[in-house]
């Protein structure tokens, strides 16, 4: 592609975004905006030294901003959780509020990853900033999670887990609506999804992964119309997700928008199928006119795009550990290929449906260089913010990072 072609495409993108702004429509809240509240969900039975360290890290770095608040939602009484979190020993704990949103402790839900439950925030952009006008929640999360789209492999979830996720989302909707303090529309999206698997450029375009289409047994036309009507997506773009070691396949592990035109794409490079997915996504983003800043990463357990942004800071994940397929899994892969040659597809499908067996790698010089490169790219894109290296090694087993652990809101709650 020649430079002139890209310039023309960029002007088309700018004209499209200008039309969206002039329309005065409400759109999904972009995560690069200056948030007033950072919400974290903490399950009382999972509080440990890592949880306390993460909370202390956030409070310390946001100490200079008097307008930003941290809201912790939990499944136990605030007094009990405050004691578990050792809040009496935390500096600047006055910035933090605790609220219980579930009357019974969920038995199965992995509580810390807030975006699996939080509603999509729909805003109207005003001269003084974004203003919340609507909250969108999905009908429920999916009972079957797509593991390998081309082969139709799914993992079975318990109905109780699905029900609890939906109830947590309902609690959050009620909490946000009560605390924002002005009329908020609540939209029930007639689609299935683990909440949060949507990234926006803040100017009317929404990005999801193709696995979203597989979770919803509806036509693409229906899905796009529902996203437009309820979420405010003027157009929806479906990207390819990594197929190796990425069971979540959420788009916020791949994309980060620094502004409406500049996008960071962070794709795994270890496995051939992941490199193929990266090529397709690069092509899609270039044709839409975005300026792409590529961050390679070893494998899906590393996710540099899973960034938390506040008014003053941008938290960029950093790693010294990552997961790859173990020798045992490589032997299983060889067995699967042999079964396909023998056309024993059902037996191969059983093996593919099992969670991959992994091993943890540490102290890799290449990852250290990738860490440094990620910080440099984000600092160049956001020179007005302080780039904060955020240790994310303790999230590699749960397939997410700082953007998954939090939820930004434009109003102070």
Q: pLDDT tens per residue, the chain (413 residues)? A: 333 345 556 789 999 999 999 998 899 999 888 899 999 988 888 888 888 998 999 999 998 898 899 999 988 888 988 899 888 887 677 888 898 886 555 444 456 678 878 899 999 988 888 899 999 998 877 766 666 666 666 777 777 777 777 888 888 999 999 988 778 999 999 998 765 579 999 999 999 998 888 888 889 999 999 999 999 999 999 999 887 777 778 899 999 999 999 999 999 888 888 889 999 999 999 999 999 999 988 888 899 999 999 999 999 999 998 888 888 988 988 888 899 889 888 888 888 777 788 888 887 888 999 999 999 999 999 999 999 999 999 877 666 789 988 999 999 88
Cα 251 from Cα 100, distance rounded (Å):
29
Distance of CA 250 to the CA centre of its chain: 6
Whether residue 336 sits in one domain with residue 203: no
Contact 255, 207 (CB under 8 A): yes
> How much is the pLDDT for 278?
92
Number of independent structural domains in the chain: 2
> How much is the pLDDT for 153?
65
Cα 204 from Cα 212, distance rounded (Å):
19
Whether residue 279 sits in one domain with residue 332: no
> How much is the pLDDT for 108?
47
Whether residue 95 sits in one domain with residue 34: yes
> How much is the pLDDT for 241?
86
Whether residue 329 sits in one domain with residue 241: no
> How much is the pLDDT for 38?
94
Q: How far is CA 275 from CA 243, 255, 358, 401, in A?
A: 10, 15, 20, 22
> How much is the pLDDT for 104?
55
| CATH assignment of the domain containing 269 | 3.75.10.10
Domain hosting 16: range is 3-320+363-409
Whether residue 301 sits in one domain with residue 230: yes
Whether residue 244 sits in one domain with residue 369: yes
Contacts of 40 (CB under 8 A, 6+ apart): 55, 58, 70, 71, 72, 73, 112, 114, 405, 406, 407
Quote the tokens at residue 391: 């240790």
Whether residue 294 sits in one domain with residue 156: yes
Whether residue 354 sits in one domain with residue 240: no
> How much is the pLDDT for 28?
95
| The dihedral sign for the CA sequence 110, 315, 27, 289 | negative
> How much is the pLDDT for 20?
94
Whether residue 335 sits in one domain with residue 259: no
Phi, psi of 203 (to 5 degrees): -135, 35
> How much is the pLDDT for 176?
92
| SS3 readout for the chain | CCHHHHHHHHHHHHHHHHHHHHHCCCEECCCCCCCCEEEEEECHHHCCHHHHHHHHHHHHHCCCCCCCEEEEEECCCHHHHHHHHCHHHCCCHHHEEEEECCCCCCCCCCCCCHHHCCCEEEEEEECCEEEEEEEEEEEECCCEEEEECCCCEEEECCHHHHHHHHHHHHHHHHHHHHHHCCCCEEEEEEEECCCCCCEECCCCEEEEECHHHHHCCCCHHHHHHHHHHHHCCCEEEEECCCCCCCCCCCHHHCEEECCCCEEEEEEECCCHHHHHHHHHHHHHHHHHCCEEEEEEECCCCCCCCCCEECCCEEEEEECCEEEEECHHHHHHHHHHHHHHHCCCHHHHHHHHCCCCCEEEEECCHHHHHHHHHHHHHHHHHCCCCEEEEEECHHHHHHCCCHHHHEEEECCCC
User: Which pairing describes strands 96-100 and 69-74: parallel, antiparallel, or unpaired?
Assistant: parallel
Quote the tokens at residue 213: 């289409």
Whether residue 309 sits in one domain with residue 367: yes
Whether residue 48 sits in one domain with residue 105: yes
Whether residue 340 sits in one domain with residue 311: no
> How much is the pLDDT for 111?
61
């Amino acid at each position: 592609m020649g430079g002139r072609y890209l310039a023309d495409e960029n002007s088309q993108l700018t004209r499209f975004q200008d039309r969206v702004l002039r329309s005065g429509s409400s759109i999904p809240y972009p995560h690069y905006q200056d948030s007033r509240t950072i919400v974290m969900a903490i399950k009382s039975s999972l509080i440990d030294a890592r949880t306390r360290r993460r909370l202390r890290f956030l409070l310390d770095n946001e100490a200079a901003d008097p307008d930003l608040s941290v809201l912790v939602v939990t499944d136990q009484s605030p007094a009990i959780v405050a004691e578990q979190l050792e809040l009496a020993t935390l500096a600047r704990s006055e910035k933090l509020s605790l609220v219980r949103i579930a009357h019974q402790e969920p038995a199965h839900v992995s509580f810390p990853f807030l975006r699996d439950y939080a509603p999509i925030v729909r805003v109207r952009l005003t001269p003084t900033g974004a203003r919340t006008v609507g909250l969108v929640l999905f009908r429920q999360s999916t009972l079957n999670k797509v593991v390998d789209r081309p082969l139709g492999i799914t993992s079975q979830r318990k109905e109780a887990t699905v029900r609890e996720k939906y109830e947590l989302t309902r609690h959050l909707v009620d909490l946000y609506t009560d605390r924002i303090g002005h009329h908020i529309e609540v939209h029930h999206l007639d689609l299935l999804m683990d909440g949060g698997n949507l990234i926006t450029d803040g100017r009317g375009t929404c990005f999801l992964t193709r696995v979203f289409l597989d979770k919803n047994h509806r036509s693409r036309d229906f899905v796009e119309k529902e996203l437009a009507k309820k979420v405010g997506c003027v157009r929806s773009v479906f990207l390819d997700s990594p197929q190796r070691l990425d069971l979540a396949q959420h788009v916020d592990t791949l994309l980060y928008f620094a502004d409406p035109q500049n996008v960071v794409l962070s794709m795994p490079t270890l496995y051939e199928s992941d490199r193929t997915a990266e090529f397709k996504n690069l092509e899609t983003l270039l044709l839409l006119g975005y300026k792409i800043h590529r961050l390679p990463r070893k494998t899906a357990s590393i996710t540099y795009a899973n960034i938390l942004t506040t008014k003053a800071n941008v938290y960029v994940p950093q790693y010294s550990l990552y997961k790859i397929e173990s020798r045992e899994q490589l032997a299983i892969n060889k067995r699967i290929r042999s079964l396909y040659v023998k056309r024993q597809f059902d037996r191969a499908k059983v093996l593919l449906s099992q969670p991959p067996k992994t091993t943890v790698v540490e102290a890799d010089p290449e990852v250290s260089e990738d860490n440094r490169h990620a910080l440099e790219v984000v600092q160049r894109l956001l020179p007005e913010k302080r780039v904060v290296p955020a240790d994310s090694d303790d999230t590699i087993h749960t397939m997410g990072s700082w953007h998954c652990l939090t939820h930004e809101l434009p109003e102070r709650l």
